[in-house]
Amino acid sequence: MRIVVLVKEVPDTFGERKVSLETGLTDREACDPVLDEICERAVEAALTLAGTGEHSVHLMSMSPESAASSIRKGLAMGAESAVHICDPALLGADLSLTAEVLAKAIEKEGFDLVIAGNLSTDGNGGMVPAMIAEWLDRPHLTHLSALEATATTVSGTRAGDDGDSQVTAELPAVVSITEAFPDARFPNFKGIMAAKKKPFGTLTLADLGIDAQDFSIPRAIMTEVAERPPRAAGVKVTDDGTAAAQLADYLAQNKLI
Ligand X SMILES: Cc1cc2nc3c(=O)[nH]c(=O)nc-3n(C[C@H](O)[C@H](O)[C@H](O)COP(=O)(O)OP(=O)(O)OC[C@H]3O[C@@H](n4cnc5c(N)ncnc54)[C@H](O)[C@@H]3O)c2cc1C
Sites of contact with ligand X (CB under 6 A): 6-8, 25-26, 36, 38-39, 42, 61-64, 90-91, 93-95, 98, 102, 116-117, 119-120, 122-129
* Strand spans (E) along 118-209: 140-149, 153-160, 163-170, 173-177, 200-203
- Least Å from the CB of residue 78 to ligand X: 17
Q: 228: number of CA atoms within 13 Å, CB side?
A: 6
Q: In terms of CB distance, is 27 or 246 closer to ligand X?
A: 27
Q: In terms of CB distance, is 6 or 76 closer to ligand X?
A: 6
- Least Å from the CB of residue 125 to ligand X: 3
Residue in 99, 22, 95, 90 with CA at minimum distance from that of residue 60: 99
- Give the span between the Cα atoms of 203 and 238, in whole angstroms: 62
Cα distances from 247 to residues 237, 241, 256, in angstroms, run: 7, 12, 11
- Least Å from the CB of residue 168 to ligand X: 21
- Least Å from the CB of residue 153 to ligand X: 22
- Least Å from the CB of residue 139 to ligand X: 17
Residue in 98, 56, 61 with CA at minimum distance from that of residue 83: 61
Q: In terms of CB distance, is 117 or 172 closer to ligand X?
A: 117
- Give the span between the Cα atoms of 64 and 62, in whole angstroms: 7
Q: In terms of CB distance, is 123 or 201 closer to ligand X?
A: 123
Q: In terms of CB distance, is 95 or 208 closer to ligand X?
A: 95
- Give the span between the Cα atoms of 223 and 170, in whole angstroms: 41
